[in-house]
Amino acid sequence: MAIIWRIAKWIGIFALVCILAGAIYQQIGSLIDRRNLPLPGRMVVVDNRQIHVLCAGSGATTIVLDSGLGGWSTHWYRIQPALAKFARVCSFDRPGLGWSDGGGKSFDGLAAASELSEIVAAAQIKTPFVYVGHSLGANFAQIYASQHPQDVAALVLLEPGNPKDMLEDFHGSREQAMALPACNRFCVAAWVAGGLGVARLGSHLTGKSFEGGALAQYRAGLARTSSPGTAVAYYGALPKTAWQTMDVQKFGDLPVLMLASSELRGPEGKETIQDVIAWRKGYLEYLASIAAKSSRGQGPIVIANSTHASMVLREKPAAQVVSAIGKFIADVQHDAPSSQAISGQAISRQPMM
> 296: domain CATH number?
3.40.50.1820
Domain membership of residue 351 (yes or no) is: no
Domain membership of residue 210 (yes or no) is: yes
Over residues 69-118, the pLDDT tens digits come to 999 999 999 999 999 999 999 999 999 999 999 877 899 999 999 999 99
Mean pLDDT, rounded, for 333-337: 70
Domain membership of residue 347 (yes or no) is: no
The parent domain of residue 25 ranges over 1-36+191-229
Domain membership of residue 8 (yes or no) is: yes
Over residues 271-289, the pLDDT tens digits come to 899 999 999 999 999 999 9
5 and 90 within one domain:
no
Domain membership of residue 153 (yes or no) is: yes
Question: Which has the closest alpha carbon to 132: 315, 311, 346?
Answer: 311
pLDDT tier for residue 342 given thresholds of 50, 70 and 90: low
Contact present, 287 and 271 (Cβ < 8 Å): no
Type of residue found at 293: K
Over residues 144-191, the pLDDT tens digits come to 999 999 999 999 999 999 999 999 999 999 999 999 999 999 999 998
Mean pLDDT, rounded, for 16-31: 75
Half-sphere exposure of 215 (CA within 13 A, CB side): 10
Residue 109, classified by CB atoms within 10 Å of its CB into exposed (0-12), middle (13-18) or buried (19+), is: buried
Over residues 193-225, the pLDDT tens digits come to 998 888 888 888 888 899 988 999 999 999 999
Q: How many CB atoms lie within 10 A of CB 241?
A: 26
Write down how long the chain is: 353
Mean pLDDT, rounded, for 287-298: 97
Domain membership of residue 345 (yes or no) is: no
Over residues 227-243, the pLDDT tens digits come to 999 999 999 999 999 99
- Interhelix angle 136-147/238-246, nearest 10 degrees: 50
Across 112-136, b (16+ Cβ under 10 Å) vs e yields bbbbbbebbeebebbbbbbbbbbbb
209 and 175 within one domain:
no
95 and 173 within one domain:
yes
Domain membership of residue 353 (yes or no) is: no
The pLDDT of residue 208 is 87
> What is the average pLDDT value for the chain, to the nearest integer?
90
Residue 12, pLDDT above cutoff 80: no
Bridge pairing between strands 152-158 and 88-92: unpaired
260 and 120 within one domain:
yes
Structure pTM?
Answer: 0.91
61 and 5 within one domain:
no
4 and 65 within one domain:
no
Mean pLDDT, rounded, for 39-51: 94
24 and 49 within one domain:
no
Domain membership of residue 199 (yes or no) is: yes
Query: CA 98, CA 230: separation in Å to the nearest integer?
Result: 11
The pLDDT of residue 352 is 37
The pLDDT of residue 18 is 72
289 and 150 within one domain:
yes
pLDDT tier for residue 335 given thresholds of 50, 70 and 90: confident
Residue 350, pLDDT above cutoff 50: no
Residue 348, pLDDT above cutoff 50: no
256 and 136 within one domain:
yes
Number of structural domains (the chain) is 2
The pLDDT of residue 2 is 72
Q: Coil, strand or helix: which one is 156?
A: strand
Question: Among 25-29, 58-62, 306-310, whose mean pLDDT is lowest?
Answer: 25-29
Better-predicted residue by pLDDT, 257 or 332: 257
72 and 31 within one domain:
no
Residue 32, pLDDT above cutoff 90: no
Question: Which has the closest alpha carbon to 232: 193, 202, 268?
Answer: 193
306 and 294 within one domain:
yes
Q: Coil, strand or helix: which one is 50?
A: strand
250 and 163 within one domain:
yes
